Each structure stands twice: as structure tokens, then as C-alpha cells.
A and B are shown apart, each in its own frame.
Chain A
Amino acid sequence: KAGVTQTPRYLIKTRGQQVTLSCSPISGHRSVSWYQQTPGQGLQFLFEYFSETQRNKGNFPGRFSGRQFSNSRSEMNVSTLELGDSALYLCASRFLAGGNNEQFFGPGTRLTVL
């Protein structure tokens, strides 16, 4: 069974631009979560989608948004990029049924904002 995949793996953008990251979950998993990892703050939860609906959201500004498609693939968008948005963005998927909440992570997208 294929793992969680993320594209692209690396991105370089400039301040003020916007960016879209993509995540494909493990087959059969309907929940996709997004996390930001920085050296200073560590791993922080952005949001989670299940059945195309946002279930919950972390403490991030509205510039960070996401969506989920009917095939469970998810995209995350960051508008008006700031230098501080440079980070490794990780997505995770889980089955989310029958108490099975083990989360599996993708390889991440490394975003650099210049």
C-alpha cells in the first residue's frame, strides 16, 4: 500500500506570493491533517479535513487555508507569503473509524520564502 505523498517536495517563493501544496493520503484514509514544522516552534497543527469538511483548525492566520476533494486528496494554500512562513509542511492521514487514529505522515514540502 502506497504511503502519504506530497507534491512538490521543494518550493521557493518570494514575499507576497501565494502557494498551493498538495497531499494524497493512504488509500482508504479519509482524514488529512496539515502541520508546519520550524526550528523555533517545532511541529504545529494547522487544520484537518474529513469528508471534504474542515474538522478543526489550529492557531494560524486566515492566510492559511485548505480544502479536500471527494477522493480525499487535500490541498493547502498560503496567501501573501511572509518570510516566517518558511518551513517544512507535513501532511498526515488517518482512517478515523473504529477508534483507529494512528497517523501516517508524508515526506513534506520544504517551502522557502525569500
Chain B
Amino acid sequence: KQEVTQIPAALSVPEGENLVLNCSFTDSAIYNLQWFRQDPGKGLTSLLLIQSSQREQTSGRLNASLDKSSGRSTLYIAASQPGDSATYLCAVLAGGGADGLTFGKGTHLIIQP
């Protein structure tokens, strides 16, 4: 059974810092990996999708990497801003794309002004 772990569970940093969020998964037979952010009481916003054949994806100040063989992904946020404060969730899709997403518990990020 696929399990997804996110470290750290919470992180508080001053504005302007670069930071890395970590995600690990137990079964490397994934179809893709997706990073989301969730603001309090809201739905999920898709940030980046990495296909299993890719090593990284970039969108603006965000860069996500994937090392399928070691079961790890990282989300790098450059020049953090208070508006980046949210919970960041990592999710993997397995079963050739036929399964539901398996989520980590998330990293609660606070960017101090």
C-alpha cells in the first residue's frame, strides 16, 4: 500500500528566504506526482505536476523535482513571500493512472513578514 510522507510537518521562515519541502513515497511505481497548496478552509490549488518520466518541473518561483527510484520529491520555493503561507500537499498517482491520489499529511508553511 502506497504511503506518502511529508517533512517537515510545519515550517516558519522569514520573508525572502529560499526553502525546500520534502515528500517521500514508499512505492516507486507511480504514474505522476502532483504538488498542491491549500489555504485554510479552502480547496486545493494545483501547483505542479511531474510525470513519472520527468525529473523536474518549474513554474515561476516554484521548482519541483522527482527521483522515482529513491521515492522522493522536493518542492523548492524561491524568495518566499507572506502570500506563500499555506499548507503544501504532495500526492502520487499510481495504478497506471487508474487509482485515486494518495496524499501526504502536508507541510504547514508560515512566511513571516
Contacts and interface: CB of A to CB of B under 8 A. Distances in A.
A107 B43 contact: yes
A5 to B, nearest CB: 10
Contacts of B102: 45
B58 interface: no
Range of interface residues on B (Cβ < 8 Å): 20 to 34
B64 interface: no
A88 B43 CA distance: 9
B101 A45 contact: yes
Interface string A32-72: 01010000001111111000000110100000000000000
A99 B51 contact: yes
B97 to A, nearest CB: 5
Report which residue of B34, B44, B89, B99 has the largest number of chain A beta carbons within 10 angstroms of its beta carbon.
B44
Contacts of A101: 31-32, 49, 93, 97
Contacts of B103: 42-44
A43 B36 CA distance: 12
Contacts of A58: 100
For chain A, the bracket of interface size reads: 20 to 34
Residue with the greatest number of chain A CB neighbours at <10 A, chosen from B43, B49, B97: B43
A108 to B, nearest CB: 5
B106 to A, nearest CB: 7
A44 B100 CA distance: 9
A105 B100 contact: no
B26 interface: no
Interface string B79-113: 00000000001010101011111111110000000
B42 interface: yes
B100 to A, nearest CB: 3
Interface string B28-49: 0001101010000111111001
A39 to B, nearest CB: 10
Q: Give the most central of B32, B95, B101, B104: most A CB within 10 Å.
A: B101
Interface of A: 4, 6, 33, 35, 42-48, 55-56, 58, 88, 90, 92, 96, 99, 101-108, 110
